[in-house]
């Protein structure tokens, strides 16, 4: 799974902006926690020291990349 995310991340053309606080492994773990436990974005954000909206955006991006590769 991480290899798929690394390929999708390398294909991303724009490298502008801030770097993510979470590496790809942590982002994947965050999405899997959401899908498995149905935790709220607020609680996931609290665990990873990010905002609720950042947790939502990461979940959308990571799960979208995983769906494209199936």
The helix/strand/coil state of 50 is coil
Q: Which residues contact 54 (CB under 8 A, 6 or more apart)?
A: 21, 45
69 belongs to a structural domain: yes
Residue 22 lies in a domain: no
Please give the model's pTM, rounded to 2 decimal places. 0.76
Q: 41 lies in which domain range?
A: 34-70
Reported as a single tens digit per residue, the pLDDT across 7-57 is 877 777 666 667 778 888 999 999 999 999 988 999 999 999 999 999 999
| Residue 42 covered by a domain | yes
Cα–Cα distance measured from residue 20 to residue 68, given in angstroms and rounded to the nearest whole number: 22
Query: Token pair of 48, please?
Result: 């990873």
Provide the number of structural domains found in the chain. Answer: 1
Q: Does 51 map to a domain?
A: yes
The reply to whether 47 falls in a domain is yes
In a domain, 59, yes or no: yes
Cα–Cα nearest to 22, from 9, 11, 13: 9
* Residue 56 belongs to some domain of the structure: yes
Question: In angstroms, rounded to a whole number, what is the distance separating the alpha carbons of residues 58 and 64?
Answer: 10
């Amino acid at each position: 799974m991480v290899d798929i995310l690394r390929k999708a991340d390398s294909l991303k053309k724009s490298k502008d902006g801030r770097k993510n606080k979470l590496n790809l492994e942590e982002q994947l773990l965050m999405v899997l926690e959401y899908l498995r436990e149905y935790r709220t974005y607020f609680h996931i954000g609290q665990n990873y020291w990010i905002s609720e909206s950042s947790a939502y955006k990461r979940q959308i991006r990571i799960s979208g990349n995983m769906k494209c590769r199936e």
